[in-house]
Amino acid sequence: MVYWDQRYAGRSLNPFGPISKSVKIDDYVADLGVLIADLRSRLHCRKVILVAHSFGTVPGILYAERHPENVAAYVSIGQEADTPESEARSYAWVLSQALARGDSNAVARLALIGPPPRKNGDDWTPRDLLQKYGGQFHADLSVPKLALISATASEVNWRDAAALLFAKDYNQVIENAESRVILDKDHLRFREPIFFVSGRFDHTVDAELASSYLDRISAPEKAFIWFEDAAHNPPFEEPGRFNELMIEKVLPLARKVDRSAPIGAASMN
């Protein structure tokens, strides 16, 4: 299994390097192509299982659409479908939660920025509020907790800490492009099995939009799997069930097309 740190993330980020002013989503698709070509050659496998999460589902599904000859199965976690509509729904949900909880500071903050689209181009719903109200993590998890857990791993070093602190600055350009992404109108035909995974409480990327997207997709096999005790991060919130899905449902499909066990390339946010 290979966990891919995309450009300007994790080990792929040089915290002392220049910040790019012109990065495109197709650049990430091309990067993914280089990685998968290298894996296929190095590990002597015809195809890989491609797993994508959050923003990773954008280059992930585009690569799966364009290169089915290299993908045994595509597994998407928190699939993006129509980002402008998703952010509008996220904003409405966060505002309803703030009102219901009597969180006057959050209500005032949300009223100040208003619903998307916004004149300043920043159409994202505040992620700290999504996390606070359970639309990012449903279980007893959070970004700081995951960071602390990760910090105990033997592989972690100072570069990872620097990447966590500075990645936002490096990724601003691609975040602007991501905020305009609409996939569920034209990217509908696939030649490999497609699986969408969503947490029932996911309001970071609207799960109902992802479900509607999969309904319109044509694929040799497809399934939408709800994780009932998760929000935007099912692999971390329900790891046992997620591993069971990958081992019992996805891996056998991949082994049908390649006698050697394929390698999963994880495109994660």
State the Rg of the chain over Cα.
19
pLDDT for 144: 83
pLDDT for 262: 54
Class of domain 2-83+145-267: alpha beta
Closest by Cα among 76, 2, 62 to 35: 2
pLDDT band at 69 (very low <50, low <70, confident <90, very high): very high
Quote the tokens at residue 127.
């992620």
Q: Which residue type is seen at 183? A: L
pLDDT band at 264 (very low <50, low <70, confident <90, very high): low
Residue 250 gets which letter from DSSP?
Answer: I
Residue pointed to by tokens 């960071």: 147
Give all strands of the β-sheet with 71-77 in edge-to-edge order. 2-4, 264-267, 48-53, 71-77, 194-199, 222-227
Cα distance between residue 71 and residue 89, in whole Å:
32
Average of per-residue pLDDT across 215-221: 96
Q: Calculate the average pLDDT of the chain.
A: 90
pLDDT band at 150 (very low <50, low <70, confident <90, very high): confident
For residue 125, which phi and psi values (nearest 5 degrees)?
Answer: -75, 135
pLDDT for 201: 96
Cα distance between residue 145 and residue 41, in whole Å:
37
For the chain, what percent of residues have pLDDT higher than 70? 95
Cα distance between residue 154 and residue 157, in whole Å:
8
pTM: 0.91
For the chain, what percent of residues have pLDDT higher than 90? 67
Evaluate if residue 20 carries a pLDDT over 80.
yes
What does the domain layout of the chain look like in residue ranges? Answer: 2-83+145-267, 85-134
